[in-house]
Amino acid sequence: MPDTGLTSLRTAVAGVSGYTGGELARLLLRHPRLANTPPIFLGRLGEADAQPVALTSLHPQLSGLPHADELSVMAFDWKQLQRESIDILFLATPHEQSRAWVPEALEQGIRVIDLSGAWRLHSEGNRAVYKLEDADPALAATLQAEAVYGSPELHGPAIAHARLVANPGCYATSIILALAPLLRANLVDLDCGIICDAKSGVSGAGKSLVPANHFMQAADNLSAYAVFGHRHTGELLEQLNLTSEQIQFTPHLLPIPRGILSTIYVRLNERADTAEIQSCFDDFYADAPLVRVRRSPQLPQIQHVVRTNFCDLGFQLAPDGRRLVVVSCLDNLLKGASSQAVQNMNLMARWHEVEGLL
């Protein structure tokens, strides 16, 4: 790809205190294109009297990275974004906050990459799980129609031109990338249904303490949750053009810090051989540098992707040529969140999508 992108870019991150925000800060501070223009880090709106907090006091692991030891997290202030001539604002904030802030950001000419679920879902029925309330419903509906789902492998050209990118959910990324090639090729017998059995480390729930994430509850344990009701289900339906009767997604909590493994069971329309399925995945992801397709019968493992920016895919086909199992692995804090956001930033800046990620 020729280097025809922006020569400079000013970025800001709101909501840096969480796990995802910390990883996003690390990636941006190390990004070669931002070496002379480090991001600014902001707290919550309405904390004008709050004192700045050293970035490395929130995330000591960032100490020693370029600019990290000299940067502070400042109170959120729209005027500061204007003074700093911010081009792209990352929102690693609760979905209610993102839903409220995006209209103002776009009004000020600031493009947004939102890591919450606020703008991912176009169907009002799917979006109802977030219980969003818009101050200006008509404006919100207009912006929702404009929002681009931030899966670079599926929507790269649209992301490049977008003002508002809705970064996908971590579970959704793992499952969508596993199923998209098969569904686009019309290989799946949807009348038989698709089963998605997904397992995630505890960081997927964020830093907020809830009983299910306490050490005594999560350690030496494996539990299913949000059966028939996980908020990422709507993303699967919309991005894969499926109905709720055609796919069942059940998430599980693993007693590990990070990583997702999704095992997906499908039945094919017609008998196929391994070479045909391999070609389906290889061809679909030929130009997707952050998706690694394994050679069947090799299957991905969480240890192969944790703390990397890749999604690994693998499959095995039953001897009958009809039953197919696909395994997808990624790091929920990276390809499932922060590094996918940086990948989207690269596309929006017309840089190569893997800059700062390989």
Which pTM value belongs to this model? 0.95
For 147, half-sphere exposure in the C-beta direction (CA atoms, 13 angstrom radius) is 28
Could you say which residues of the chain have pLDDT below 70?
A: 1-4, 44-50, 207-209
Query: Could you tell me if 12 and 74 are in contact, meaning their C-beta atoms sit under 8 angstroms apart?
Result: no
86-108 burial: b if 16+ Cβ within 10 Å, else e: bbbbbbbbbbebbbbbbbebbee
Count CB atoms within 10 A of the CB of residue 244. 14
First to last CA, the chain: 16
Task: Map out the domains of the chain with their CATH numbers.
Answer: 11-167+337-348 (3.40.50.720), 170-330 (3.30.360.10)
Q: What pLDDT was estimated at residue 1?
A: 42
Predicted pLDDT of residue 209: 62
DSSP 46: T
Please name the residue that has the structure tokens 């879902």: 121
**pLDDT value, residue 4:** 62
Nearby residues of 145 by Cβ (< 8 Å), 6 or more positions away: 122
Cα–Cα distance, 35 to 52 (Å, whole number)? 22
Q: Which residue from 32, 13, 165, 9 is spatially nearest to 80, judged by alpha carbons?
A: 13
**pLDDT per residue as tens digits for the range 131-179:** 999 999 999 999 999 999 999 999 999 999 999 999 999 999 999 999 9
pLDDT at 45: 53
Is residue 329 among the annotated active site residues? no
Strands of 247-253's sheet, edge to edge?
A: 223-224, 247-253, 194-200, 260-267, 323-330, 311-317, 291-293
**CA distances to 108, 169, 217, 229 from 85, in Å:** 10, 29, 46, 41
Peptide bond into 300 cis (omega under 30): no
| Amino acid in position 205 | A
